[in-house]
Amino acid sequence: MFAVLIGALAAFVWGRWRYDVVALLALLAVTLAGIVPWDEAFLGFGHPAVITVAAVLVVGKALANSGLVGLLARQVSRVGEGATAQIAALTGLVAVLSAFMNNVGALALLMPVAIQMARKHERPTSIYLMPLAFGSLLGGLSTLIGTPPNIIIATFRGDVVGEPFRMFDFAPAGVGIGVAGLAFVILVGWRLLPRREAGSNRDELFRIGEYLTEVRVTEDSSLVGSSLRSLGRDTKGEIMVVGLIRGDRHHPAPHVLERMRAGDVLLVEGTSEALAEFVDGLGLEFAEQRDLDEEELGSDEVELMEAVVTPTSPLVGRDAAGLAIRMRHGFNILAVARQGTRLEERVGRIRFRAGDVLLVQAPRGVLYEALPNLGLLPLAEREIRIGEPRRVFLAVGVFGAAVSLAAVGVVPIQVAFVGAAVLMVMLGLIGLEKAYTSVDWPVIVLLGAMIPVGEALETSGGSALIGDILLGMSEGGVSPAFAVGVILVVTMLLSDVINNAAAAVLMAPVALSVAGGLGASPDPFLMATAVGASCAFLTPIGHQSNTLVLGPGGYRFGDFWRLGLPLEVVIVVIGLPLILVVWPV
């Protein structure tokens, strides 16, 4: 069991395979080793925690579609001009939203607002986005549905005590920890962050005009009569046509079926070597060079937009040439920035990473359909959606009813939110297709696979062995309160390098073993596990919210320590006494 666990942790940290693949490999390993019976290997996919997480994601998306979040975001955008006031408004709102919907979704909705604020007031985005990401994590501590670890921990308590944690059982400690963390971030934390100007202005970040060249199609060129599709195929993606000038008309992002004529001027992007071969081999000539800017790449019909690569995007680990982005999805990727700096390498050869910022070009309407399908999150150009009062009222009413029923224990949480999700589909608050796409399937697979692995850690005696180590420490005079603190800190450190849901699944059996060995209540140990699993502040890989802001904020890996380390100290200092007061050992 420990061999499988160490291998899985190493694979999580390495990041070569996505966390859901690693979880499935771990599940298969413990099943083949005989630790988990064959007929129980996939029971985790029917676990109440898995069903609840999926339903909460659908309900949260329906709330966002109703326009409620847009209504709140509009008010936030009108806050005063001081950086502290703006950061307070943004982090406060994202924390409240994250208490009742997926924290990554809440962050994604407010990122464009934060970027617009930064650019409007000529401030670097770096001082806005990390506080916003951390605020989304802190807000999830307050309720059962705020974050998947809370749902997981609640079901572990149900298995041990007979009654799971309810909707607001997390609030007494979670709200206190969240308020303390937000106060630190707002008053002190953002001042510790680097002020990197490169990521705050698109013109400075991409300088796309410096990488474009105009070439003219001569009468003798072999391109006359050929389509842009065939040109892209012949040049193997080394040359990208981003504009066409024909007479007095300028066509940004011309259609791939457009056929070239003698006298056409092509606005192309490519390396100097590829351009020289392109011009000489196809009978072209360089046009008179002039200063080019982004305005020539867009029009009333063609749009330029920045988008960030999400951790679950199919682009991660692949390049644009291999994906044939222009041919299959109808848009161009003009440039790529990573950690606040434009990559000089040819775009077609760049292997994308989560957090990369892409400058994309496409006919209006194409981007908003194509980008979500590729796991790309549009940034500042996206408009805030304001909903109709009727839709907002219906969405809030259905959501409130589900929360109330679950809070008072009339129906289990999974039943209440599955019912809410179905009702929202029936009322037209979210389409059926959108309901399925709103579910974060990698997280669902991770949970379904890791829950049996966590149970195997317990049944194999692994969690008891780890618990015995801590109990041996307590025999030397260490109190149960210290053991709760150790569980909190270890879980926090674990969640900084692996998915927070996986951290909760693995640490919950250990926490219960320690509590049982000490003859103490399991509640403070489980609460410490829940808090620790949701406090991944030291690295950009510990949580999707951190990964999402990595590129747009221009952060480097070590920047997360600047704010994350003192914030985790604040959480331990404030959170441990709060947990012990609310849930005595």
Name which residue leads in pLDDT, 468 or 502: 502
In angstroms, rounded to a whole number, what is the distance separating the alpha carbons of residues 512 and 243?
63
**Structure confidence at residue 476 (pLDDT):** 56
Q: Which two tokens stand for residue 37?
A: 């019976």
Cβ(120)–Cβ(81) under 8 Å?
A: no
Q: Where in the chain is the domain with CATH 3.30.70.1450?
A: 202-381
For residue 148, count CB atoms less than 10 angstroms from its CB and return exposed for 0-12, middle for 13-18, buried for 19 or more.
Answer: buried
**Amino acid type, 388:** E
Distances (CA, A) of 116 to 64, 125, 378, 397: 19, 9, 13, 31
Interval 21-56: pLDDT, tens: 999 999 999 999 999 999 889 999 999 999 999 999
Within a 13 Å sphere around the CA of 472, how many CA atoms are in the beta-carbon half?
6
To 10 degrees, the CA torsion angle through 73, 76, 81, 87?
Answer: -90
Q: How far is Cα 429 from Cα 395, in angstroms, rounded to an integer?
A: 7
pLDDT band at 289 (very low <50, low <70, confident <90, very high): low
Find tokens 């749009």 and name the residue: 303
CATH of domain 202-381: 3.30.70.1450
Most confident residue range from 157-166, 336-345, 382-391: 157-166
| Among 37, 38, 28, CA closest to 4 | 28
Quick: pLDDT tens for 237-262: 667 777 888 877 777 777 777 888 88
Backbone angles phi, psi at 576, to 5 degrees: -60, -50
Average pLDDT over residues 200-212: 60
Least confident piece of the model among 352-366, 376-390, 496-510, 531-545: 376-390
Please give the average per-residue pLDDT across 90-113, as a whole number: 88
Query: Is the pLDDT confidence value at 288 over 60?
Result: yes
